[in-house]
Structure 1
């Protein structure tokens, strides 16, 4: 059974940018919704940058620009890359039940979205690892997270987002942009508004159109709303976890940082210090999608104390498989970059 949680009358709650992140975790854990397939949409009420669970904010975000323009910063539970959202964005979230997922099944959940867009004459496609594009330009990126046996698939639909703000707010690695053959965030993204012929077609119309296709694919489709008690619990979770500086910024400031982008895989970054010729305070980051925190912690712990020696670092990296990323070629390249970064500092 598909349960649609109607948020259309709750827009005021989303003026607090941590509410969407707390809402997602609450619904993944709430006993009331166990074993139910959930869907909801929401509109961001303020310009916000959302970084992925494993990303290093200091290498993804233009802090002076955020401060000057009142753009909020939050971190989500799910992996993937940083995104800029504002009231011109429509965010969609599916929550379902599944055993340990190694490869997210994005195609299943975006099917009604692509059908809805096709009905508007928009030739949207699923491309890369988790993107939706039209004419080669991205308008949506999906993220994934799993808490026990509850999986979350979420994404942003750029309907009429301020692309100028998005371009200045985000600072993705140059290697990632180079891989995609573009020079800036702005040059590789687009708004759906540009492809819709009806001038009076609104973001709410898009939501309702997608819902009509969801209903076609789900015979048992019910609508519900969250209670005031539930919203209070969501607010408390937001303040206790997602609004804290430790959650948003992390607690590990480092002197060195290297990263690489691997086509079809994503970005892997390693921040670190050095002490007496050895790595210290190692922190793995990147737009990693399916990976356990335990694996990340194990790799970080093993790199801590390793000699700043390419062969030694490479051997440790090869032992791990972060989101399918740390393969021999990847390990060799990262190890070389780490040593070069220290030598050139």
Structure 2
């Protein structure tokens, strides 16, 4: 496995490099990319930017907002956060457990009893220390996540604006009450740079990895194109249009909001938003619903043409019908 460390702390640039490494045909096999962000919120591909953040707080504290390609929820990053992306060929086993097992083993080697938890998290001492998401592009899969090492929890809790339904369904009072910093749980404290170096050393010695340099010059032209995409208002805010009706519901597979426009019992427009863990871009299938009748038979006919697991995560056909039709 190759390990690459991105030098930039801009989310627009790290997202671009992740994409470039993933689509580079000369880079085969498994890859681990490590990176950090300075004061940023990264929202999931399916989320409405306006609903996920405290806009006034984000503006006043000059927090950068970015949208990633994977599903899942919004996360706050600062330089006390270490992020990782596993890039691999698709296989019969693309589970989160498969990709996170080496990370969990590394954390355990530091004396931190950690474990896989829920749909896509790592927990330690009953608290979340890592959230993860995935997306598929061609024959490759990206499974990326956070490691909350020494993040400013005050900013994290004030900058994000999660839907109350999500917390109420889990009996949780706030973001801050369910997350923890790894450094506070370690038997011996260290800096985030020491933590990163220790992780690299562990993977080199235990996971047959080699540390290599990103081919920055090779990527220069395409990099500018991708950086412009990820930093554009259209990419960041395009899930935030106005519609005639909105419905939100929490399912085991995640929070889902449907924004739609219905005229004369015909679906004129529809967007699916939320933190459900899609692996492919939901925008690809939304047009299939446009122009059909607003009834169960028509909606189910469309759903038979869709790979529900890749586009809606663990949501079921019945749950999707329910959120669309009420």
Q: TM-score, normalised on structure 2?
A: 0.87
Q: How far is the alpha carbon of 1:327 from its aligned partner? A: 3.1
Partner of 1:57: 49
Answer yes or no: is the 8 Å Cα contact 1:4–1:222 preserved in 2: yes
1:199-214 matches, cutoff 5 A: 199=189, 201-214=190-203
Tell me which residue corresponds to 2:154.
164
Are the aligned partners of 1:303 and 1:313 in contact in 2 as well (CA < 8 Å)? no
Q: CA deviation at 1:231?
A: 5.5
1:41 has 2:34 as partner? yes
Which of residues 12, 16, 27 in structure 1 aligns to 2:21? 27
Quick check: 2:48–2:239 contact (8 Å CA) kept in 1? no
Structure 1 residues 316 and 62 mapped into 2: Cα distance closer, same or farther (>3 Å)?
farther
**Alignment partner of 2:238 out of 250, 253, 258:** 250
Instruction: Note the C-alpha offset of 1:40.
Output: 2.3
Alpha-carbon distance, 1:234 to partner: 5.8
Match of 1:17 in 2: 11
Task: Give the equivalent residue in structure 2 for 1:239.
Answer: 227
- 1:115–1:213: 8 Å Cα contact kept in structure 2? no
2:249 is matched with which residue?
Answer: 260
Change (3 A) 1:305 1:132: same
Alignment of 1:273 onto 2:273: no
Q: Which residue of the partner structure matches residue 170 of structure 2? A: 180
Runs of 5+ consecutive residues of structure 1 not aligned to the other structure: 337-345
Change (3 A) 1:6 1:324: closer
CA RMSD of aligned residues (A): 2.6
Give deviations 1:52-92, integer Å, cap 9, x for gaps: 11222122222122111111100111222111111110011
Q: Which runs of 5+ in 2 are unaligned?
A: none
Whether 1:98 and 2:90 are equivalent positions in the alignment is: yes
TM-score (norm 1): 0.83
Matched residue of 2:66: which SS? strand
Alpha-carbon distance in structure 1 between the residues aligned to 2:113 and 2:302: 41
What count of residue pairs does the alignment treat as equivalent? 320
